Structure 1
């Protein structure tokens, strides 16, 4: 996992990111732990993790980030990247807390918001964030969200390069 700025790093294109997403992913399940104290889940008809108080208690979930609306390629999810990242970061600042990030399928919106958190708060590139999450959950951000993550990646890389160039 890279957490430092590399001058030769270039944000991959959408097709390259899609190849990374599809290469070696785990099987799809309703809820997975993707990070310390963080779970991503879906809203399946039989297992709506976010509404199943017994499952929430079993997992020890104390906080929920609900992203269960607006999964279209034209929706600007990036407007929520920083507020979601702040919420996740604040939640995880207490090691007693456990977070469920969920949407209808638990593969696009919820995954995109958590990827943005890893990029913003954990200084990961979009590639490193995807590789980290897909080890534990099958994720498939839609094309519009991938484009927004690419734009975030380019902005963050530019900011980090500027910060390292300052005397």
Structure 2
């Protein structure tokens, strides 16, 4: 049986979902499924009136192995909200359920953040119209991560307090470490997925780097828009606040003045420890105790943008050249680059300060 977490909100496993679909429910009207694939084919038997015992659903989905079968199609699918499947599931003659399926695997590098907004909205709407069952395969990690995020947002709880509260209803829940890290980011962003927040940008770049290192092709859509094209979009991307009299900096090629990056494309990093971050045998000059200039960065690191031709074509590393005059602007490496301050940025898309002009127009 699913566990009641809050009024009109339940958490469970695939067997619980099968039981609801098979026998119906006086309470549950909406089902949010987290499985390795968004495919709903293994639920289709209910629409044709064939009832399969709930204990058999696990065997069907797991291929009799006791764990989920991640097919090649599922493992290759891109994690994008537009891949979600909505359906009206029928059980028997008159019972109907609104179901949303999310293709998410229970592994640490999966991108949970990009699904939070649509999933939390589904839960909120489902609770207004009836009751919601949130489930994954075992009811331990994926469903627990989403319900924890919902409690965090709806009740303004920290990750720790929300998880503790959930465990009072279902003590076996245990989101994997990757999901816990992302829930902490969700908390730090103020319980919303803000795609302009540096926290999200660093996370997104990390996800892209890990995908590349696994041999997956990085789709062009994963690269940020080229701020230099079209020119008429530039003004809309210059952000100002009520307390600022100057627009955010623009980064241009020093040779031809083509716009190559906006401030929102820049990724800040924690300064390293200067020369001490490099090889032990590197010779030091001057007073080793005077570190005033050690941490000065000679480069700017940005997110991957669509003018970076070599990177979009799949190269591991290479030069970053201006799309207009082909002047060398910097360097990229999906495996990472060490900044002059000593910090290691992975993956690294580096602009040399000596090759760019920073201006407001």
TM-score, normalised to structure 2, is: 0.32
SS of aligned partner of 1:64:
strand
* CA 1:56–1:124: 2 relative to 1, 3 Å: farther
Determine the structure 2 residue equivalent to 1:32: 3
SS of aligned partner of 2:189:
helix
Q: Tell me the C-alpha RMSD between the 2 structures.
A: 2.1
Determine the structure 1 residue equivalent to 2:94: none
Deviation at 1:129, TM superposition (A): 0.9
Deviation at 1:50, TM superposition (A): 1.0
Confirm or deny that 1:75 pairs with 2:42: no
- Structure 2 contact 152–191 (Cα < 8 Å) conserved: no
CA offset digits 1:29-74 (Å, max 9, x no partner): x52111111111112xxxx11122355415x210000012211111
Confirm or deny that 1:41 pairs with 2:12: yes
Could you tell me which runs of 5 or more consecutive residues in structure 1 were left unpaired when the two chains were aligned: 1-29, 159-167
Determine the structure 1 residue equivalent to 2:164: 131
CA offset digits 1:82-121 (Å, max 9, x no partner): 1111111111123xx1110000010100010111111223
Deviation at 1:122, TM superposition (A): 2.5
Larger relative contact order (C-alpha < 8 A, sep ≥ 6)?
1
- Structure 1 contact 49–55 (Cα < 8 Å) conserved: no
* CA 1:116–1:56: 2 relative to 1, 3 Å: farther
SS of aligned partner of 1:66:
strand
Determine the structure 2 residue equivalent to 1:57: 25
SS of aligned partner of 2:28:
coil
- Structure 1 contact 35–133 (Cα < 8 Å) conserved: no
More strand by share: 2
More helix by share: 1
Q: How many residues align?
A: 123
